[in-house]
Amino acid sequence: MKQYHFPQIDSTNDFAKELLKTESEIIVTADYQTKGKGRSNRTWAGDYGNNIYYSYGLRHDVVPVLDNIIIYQIIGCLAVKSLLIEQTQNDIFKLKYPNDIMALDNSRFYKKIAGVLAEHSFLGNDCISSIIGIGVNVNQAIFNNEIFNNATSLKLLGYDKNVNELIEKLTLQIQFWLKKDSVTIFNIWKNELNLVGKIVELTSSNDKWQVDSILNDGRLLAINCNSGEQRKIDNGDSVRYKIG
């Protein structure tokens, strides 16, 4: 497997997507991204050299079922959480739907420490490749005003870590989870989220919804707490809910 590292790049995911036209499995990392990607066209920002900017890409030998491609985002989330617990020997990390990893800081609030963005390329209706994009706040100590109250890092939690060493261990974690069957991975993720029965609020409205179930494609089946309306909440929806 080839690995590519850049002092600066637009987006590790975008570069990985181009590489997968000729490569079967690759890793792309950078010290800094100028156009790092978050969900819903948001940007993923961070300091130069202080964080993990990482993409793991693979071209599929066997075309996956479309409803199952959520598994690559799940693998990214589980790999990051496993890495953080391994490196800190402290289980203060939780997954937040759909793609964030949160950490309990000294103020006893959960703040975002990492995010995962899985992207896929298609030929017609066939998914031919997948990329697991990961950003982890490692040694960044100052965040801009927009995210200051909602973000943290290993440094702010009291852990000094070498970014390059963490990248090597993150790759091992991803490879570990890729070897597991999708049903096992999905059930672990559902149990980690512990969302069924909880009340969530869509950031696009003030409506509150109770989660009835997590569907096989990763969407939430939810019931409106006031009207009883049923709807499906997916990756494009940002939700708020109490973690822990």
Q: Is the pTM of this model over 0.85?
A: yes
238 — pLDDT class (breaks 50, 70, 90) = confident
Q: Among the listed ranges 41-50, 147-156, 204-213, 230-239, which one has the minimum average pLDDT value?
A: 41-50
| Selection from 168, 212, 162 nearest residue 190 by Cα | 212
Q: Say if residues 73 and 217 touch (Cβ distance below 8 Å).
A: no
Residue 125 CA: distances (Å) to CA of 17, 95, 137 = 17, 30, 35
State mean pLDDT over 22-39. Answer: 86
Query: What is the Cα–Cα distance from 57 to 60, expressed in whole angstroms?
Result: 10
Predicted confidence at residue 147, as pLDDT, reads 67
Predicted confidence at residue 67, as pLDDT, reads 87
State mean pLDDT over 177-205. Answer: 94
For the chain, the structural domain boundaries read 2-193, 199-240
Predicted confidence at residue 168, as pLDDT, reads 98
Give residue-wise pLDDT tens across range 106-127. Answer: 878 999 999 999 999 999 999 9
CATH code that applies to domain 2-193: 3.30.930.10
| Selection from 62, 63, 74, 94 nearest residue 216 by Cα | 74
Which strands make up the sheet holding 208-214, listed edge to edge? 230-233, 220-224, 208-214, 199-202, 239-240
Q: Report the percent of the chain where pLDDT is more than 70.
A: 94
Given a cut of 60, is residue 38 above it in pLDDT?
A: no
State mean pLDDT over 14-20. Answer: 96
State mean pLDDT over 59-65. Answer: 94
Query: What is the Cα–Cα distance from 89 to 13, expressed in whole angstroms?
Result: 30
| Selection from 102, 107, 77 nearest residue 91 by Cα | 102
Average pLDDT along the chain: 92
Predicted confidence at residue 50, as pLDDT, reads 95
Query: What is the Cα–Cα distance from 208 to 223, expressed in whole angstroms?
Result: 9
State mean pLDDT over 43-64. Answer: 88
205 — pLDDT class (breaks 50, 70, 90) = confident
Query: What is the Cα–Cα distance from 48 to 51, expressed in whole angstroms?
Result: 7
Give residue-wise pLDDT tens across range 83-111. Answer: 999 999 999 999 999 999 999 988 789 99
Region of 125 on the Ramachandran plot (φ > 0 left; ψ -120 to 50 alpha; else beta)? alpha
Return all residues near 63 (Cβ < 8 A) that are at least 6 apart: 126, 127, 128
Outline where the chain has alpha helix (H): 12-19, 70-88, 163-178, 182-193
Return all residues near 178 (Cβ < 8 A) that are at least 6 apart: 75
